[in-house]
Amino acid sequence: MRKLIYGMNLALDGYVSAPDGDLNRSDPSDELFEWWLERERPIGLFLYGRKLWEIMSSHWPTGDQQPDAARHEHPR
């Protein structure tokens, strides 16, 4: 049996975006990126919502074909 951990980003208005609907955010610092990476590394399954899936789905099929990319480089 595995442990289920639930995590979610949420704003007080229930929606995480800029007022104009823009979902782009600033790049995290190297320290923050490493902190999140260490916590996500042991996770065996991620479940995403539709919006994040639409943003990330074009990257995932080829993400493993970029072994020389810096670890902090990710699609926007």
What are the pLDDT digits (tens) for 34-46?
888 888 888 888 8
pLDDT tier, 12 (very low <50, low <70, confident <90, very high otherwise): confident
Residue whose structure tokens are 């600033």: 26
- How far, in Å, CA of 35 to CA of 40, rounded? 9
Residue range 20-32, pLDDT digits in tens: 777 776 666 788 8
Longest CA–CA separation in the chain, Å: 43
Say how many domains are in the chain: 1
Distances (CA, A) of 75 to 29, 40, 58, 71: 16, 17, 9, 12
Domain of residue 4, residue span: 1-75
